[in-house]
Structure 1
């Protein structure tokens, strides 16, 4: 069976569709939130229509992602799109929690998982535990990080890895150096 793929399958539209589906929203749910027609949204998801900057802001808000994540979409040359993410072309994702910078290492959000580069600033933490319907595995590249998983605190060192399966967790970096971790999250949440 032969499937003809479009020249650039990894697009803004594909990411929007993946984000919408990961949030359990139908086309009509999201269109209603945006005050736009289902037809318009469907065109955007199929890259037949180019959303305005204002549209992108509304879409980002409705999907709870940063606008910059949607803006930084066409960084890769055509030959690398969907395959390679250069260090300088990573897309910022996640919320703007003070002290945490998250960048998408995956080319887009159309896989069953996403890979994220997280940098935790020195002397930073989140106070409220996060709980999400995911399986996550992380690997600490540098620095030290304390992770509280299901109420138990763990000290994580470079080379250590950890797993979180839907438990409430929070991170704390009480140290004087940034901590850098790679996270794999399934299904994608950003």
Structure 2
């Protein structure tokens, strides 16, 4: 079973270890019970924002949601290009944490492969505390940022307040790759 496939079972195990019901975790993470149930059963891939909320509510690093044996690196983490990418059950959305082994960090870096096509527009738009940076590594993306739609190409970089509702989707036939870095607000960031 891949690390992506372990997300749902790991989430359930962590929730039960803490004696939390789905309703209680939903309240703590500002997500719905139904949404969390779908994630636990592997029927829904959570957004970065949802992962941040769940990890915070469970008081774990996002890496532990994918790998229960994730051990923190004392001073750094190294993600190799040969490391496997994580993706959703339906294969339309990819999300690879780039500093998974490091706990108590002030930034969360990911490599994202956004969904493409009309189905990409059906999900909710997300907002979170802190700031976010998107750097297009390959392909083209559309970023809905508040009421504005921005088209970004390879090499383009966008930096914005995470509190603005936003969503990203690939444009064209080739899925784009986007480096996403989320800087948590000071009250949420935990020193190393």
The residue number in structure 1 matching 2:167 is: 170
Confirm or deny: 8 A CA contact 2:76 2:102 kept in the other structure: yes
1:85 positional shift: 2.1
Confirm or deny: 8 A CA contact 2:85 2:94 kept in the other structure: no
1:99 positional shift: 2.2
Residues 118-171 of structure 1: CA deviation (Å, up to 9, x unaligned): 112442524321111121011001000000101100101100001231100112
The residue number in structure 1 matching 2:79 is: 85
Q: How many Å separate the matches in 2 of 1:149 and 1:119?
A: 18
In structure 2, runs of 5+ residues without a counterpart are 1-16, 22-39, 41-53
Q: How many Å separate the matches in 1 of 2:155 and 2:108?
A: 20
Give the TM-score normalised by structure 1.
0.55
The residue number in structure 1 matching 2:97 is: 104
1:67 positional shift: 7.2
In structure 1, runs of 5+ residues without a counterpart are 1-29, 35-56
Does 2:108 correspond to 1:114? yes
Q: How many Å separate the matches in 1 of 2:69 and 2:83?
A: 8
Output aligned runs, 1:27-42, within 5 Å: 31-33=18-20
Q: How many Å separate the matches in 1 of 2:80 and 2:68?
A: 16
Confirm or deny: 8 A CA contact 2:115 2:169 kept in the other structure: no
Output aligned runs, 1:1-190, within 5 Å: 31-33=18-20, 63=58, 69-71=66-68, 73=70, 82-89=76-83, 92=86, 99-106=92-99, 107-123=101-117, 125-127=120-122, 128-165=124-161, 166-187=163-184
The residue number in structure 2 matching 1:46 is: none
Please give the secondary structure, in 1, of the residue aligned with 2:18. helix
Confirm or deny: 8 A CA contact 2:110 2:181 kept in the other structure: yes
Give the TM-score normalised by structure 2.
0.54
Confirm or deny: 8 A CA contact 1:68 1:91 kept in the other structure: no
Number of paired residues? 133
Q: How many Å separate the matches in 2 of 1:181 and 1:133?
A: 20
Residues 100-125 of structure 1: CA deviation (Å, up to 9, x unaligned): 21111114242111111111244252
1:186 positional shift: 1.4
